[in-house]
Amino acid sequence: MIWSTLKLWFHKLGSPPIFSVFARRVAPWLWAAFFACTLYGVYLALYVAPPDYQQSDSARILYIHVPAAWQAMLAYVIMAVLAAIALIWRIRTAEIMAMAAAPIGAALTLICLVTGSLWGKPMWGTWWEWDARLTSMLVLLFIYVGIMALYAAYDDPRKGARVASVLVIAGLVNLPIIHFSVEWWTTLHQGQTIRIFGESKMDPSMIPPLIWTTLGTKFLFGAALLDRARNLLLAQDQHKAWVRRELAPALDDRKQPA
Amino acid sequence: MIPELNYAPFVWSSYGVFAAVCAWQFLAPLIRRRRLTRQIREQLEEERAAAAVGRPAPRS
């Protein structure tokens, strides 16, 4: 039952007009959830959570640095799944969503790198260090930018998306490098302190703001992905009747049943 | 009330960067869609005007 419903949704959302309506309806709710979770999380992070016993208030940067890093990596995994679907089944909506995920992932990686640098200066005494974790995260940013550039380099967006999808799949190799960099090499960056399975080294009072800002970044990604993918679809299909009906219904004479 | 923090310039700069990037993620698709809607409306108006005088519709 659940599987057949999911399959039906999967096929239905493959249709650009249905996806566009779905994105238009769902994205505002995701934005609302993002604002609510993030504002509450930031309030907890700045007003309620205690300062770290060693790093004092500079540790408050973690409440945005860590969620951005997690979501930048999760965004890449989602983009790779979409790229694989696009390459195997040639579903245009999946292609477009994969390409729409790249600028959001790049933005999250940028947040992670800049906030990490702002945290590193007072704690490590340097803005940047060619440490394995930092460098692999910088490589992730370059991969995201490379995917965006490759997609934009083709006049035919479908061809561009297919070529960029191959790069997305190849770039997956960087994710385990990022994750295990703090174990494989001696790094300035601290090791893993938060574990989903197993005991975390973080004080429990620091967990709630982290959960809320983490949820916020998930909603940010979902909302921005739907908005950007819908825009790409509308731009590609701008001469088609369904786009004209949706964007300029008063001017379109060619009324057709939905 | 703004909390008084140690390392305040670093903390506030971080939250500022986060806010700016999130705002851009929110605004960029809105701006793009407005531009796209205006472009499509203009095209439709041109097509209408062309149809009214009986010449072929411009295709951009």
- Nearest residue of chain A to residue B25 (CA atoms): A224
Does any domain span residue A253? Answer: no
Does any domain span residue A184? Answer: yes
User: What pLDDT is attached to residue A117?
Assistant: 96
Does any domain span residue A28? Answer: no
Does any domain span residue A7? Answer: no
pLDDT surpassing 50 at residue A95: yes
Determine, for residues B25 and A224 on separate chains, whether the beta-carbon distance falls below 8 Å: yes
Does any domain span residue A4? Answer: no
* Residue A201's pLDDT band (cuts 50, 70, 90): confident
Does any domain span residue A243? Answer: no
Angle A221-A227-A230 from CA coordinates, rounded to 5° = 130
CB atoms within 10 A of CB A76: 25
Residues A173, A163: Cα–Cα separation, whole Å: 17
Domain range enclosing A209: 61-234
**Tokens representing residue B37 in the block:** 């809607």
Position of tokens 């990686």?
A109
Does any domain span residue A242? Answer: no
Determine, for residues A220 and B6 on separate chains, whether the beta-carbon distance falls below 8 Å: no
pLDDT surpassing 80 at residue A196: no
Residues A62, A236: Cα–Cα separation, whole Å: 39
Residues A238, A242: Cα–Cα separation, whole Å: 8
Chain B 38-57, residues with CB within 8 Å of chain A CB atoms? 39-41, 43-45, 48
Residue type, A117: S
Average pLDDT over residues B21-43: 93
Does any domain span residue A134? Answer: yes
* Residue A251's pLDDT band (cuts 50, 70, 90): low
* Residue A258's pLDDT band (cuts 50, 70, 90): very low
Report ipTM (2 d.p.).
0.90
Q: What's the domain count of chain A?
A: 1
Determine, for residues A118 and B17 on separate chains, whether the beta-carbon distance falls below 8 Å: yes
Any idea which of A75-84, A191-200, B12-21 has the lowest mean pLDDT?
A191-200
pTM (predicted TM-score): 0.91
pLDDT surpassing 80 at residue A236: yes
Q: Which residues pair with A52 in a beta bridge?
A: A56
Average pLDDT over residues B49-56: 81
